[in-house]
Amino acid sequence: MKDLTKTLRQISLSAWFGIVVVSVYILVAFFAPVIAPYGETEIVGGVFEPWSDEFLLGTDNLGRDLYSRLVYGARNTVGIAILTTLLAFAFGSLMGVLSATIGGWLDQLMGRSVDVLMAIPQLIFALLLLTIFGTSIINMILIIALLDSTRVYRLSRAAAVNVVAMDYIEAAKLRGEGLGYLIFREILPNITAPLVAEFGLRFCYVFLLISALSFLGLGIQPPTADWGSMVRESANLISFGEVTPLIPALAIALLTVAVNFIADWFLHRSTGLKG
């Protein structure tokens, strides 16, 4: 308990900002039906109605309430991004650590496959794969997770290689420990710091990639509310000097910043960096 209060007191101001923002997003995503005045896909008014008491942020090109869609968007966009990033990390870091621990042909095979995957620009590759396998949320999650896991793989392999060279790993190997113990008890605890920092960054990239794909029409499909596609649907308004299309973009930016503040703080804490 004493430890907890001490940790809480040591949280920096920027990290507090990050924590508050992320909590608000989570609450909004969780209680979306309560907060939103209208349904996610409900057509409630005229096309492109301006801001008013009735429609807080106006309506979109089909007459749906933008505020309600923004709230539901938190659910879809953030939820899918978290799921995708977690998947990418589970797969990527496991393969990375496995490569570093076993070495030899497995390391070579994994390393070269990842090189091939990384040789093609990510967005174009994602577009290509989505066109081949068809656009669905499951496909999108799997494809982005796979493409992003290559980055996680390289990081976790590089970090794990340093740990594998340590004498305590040799001691564990001499004890005859199994691969599972080596990876989960000896190696992973020592590489969490870079992985967590990368998680913050990766989450943002995934988030932006989903939004970009949605903006291009290959991501989350209408009528599901999503911040990326919302920008596209009301993009025309920008030429009339309206700020409305920028609001979903702002929501994306704010979350990106907040997540990185938290990752920074965690990195400082776990590596003992000062300042």
In whole angstroms, how close is the CB of 170 to another protein at the nearest point? 7
Q: Which residues are CB-neighbours of 229 under 8 A, at least 6 positions away?
A: 214, 215, 217, 219, 220, 222
- 115 interacts with another protein by CB under 8 A: no
Q: Does 168 bind another protein (CB under 8 A)?
A: yes
Minimal distance, residue 189 CB to another protein, in Å: 4
The contact pattern for another protein, residues 182-221, with x = CB under 8 A and - = no contact, is: ---xx--xx-------------------------------
Residues 6+ apart with CB under 8 A from 123: 209, 212, 213
Alpha carbon 35 to chain centroid distance?
A: 24
User: Is 170 among the residues that bind another protein (CB under 8 A)?
Assistant: yes
Tokens 């990510």 belong to 122
Under 8 Å CB-to-CB from 152, ≥6 apart: which residues? Answer: 88, 89, 91, 92, 93, 96, 195, 198, 202
Which residue, 49 or 107, is less far from another protein as judged by CB? 107
Distance (Å, whole) CA 69 – CA 163: 47
Give the three-class secondary structure for 43. Answer: strand
Decide if residue 171 touches another protein (CB under 8 A): yes
Q: Is 167 in the site for another protein (CB under 8 A)?
A: yes
State which of residues 20, 27, 90, 166 lies at the interface with another protein (CB under 8 A). Answer: 166
Integer Cα distance of 170 and 104 in angstroms = 17
Burial degree of 53 (CB within 10 A; 0-12, 13-18, 19+)? exposed
Which one, 53 or 175, has the nearer CB to another protein? Answer: 175
175 binds another protein (CB under 8 A): yes
Give min distance, CB of 272 to another protein, in A.
9
Size of the site for another protein (CB under 8 A): 15
Does 4 help bind another protein (rule: CB under 8 A)? no
174 binds another protein (CB under 8 A): yes
Q: What residue ranges bind another protein (CB under 8 A)?
A: 166-168, 170-177, 185-186, 189-190
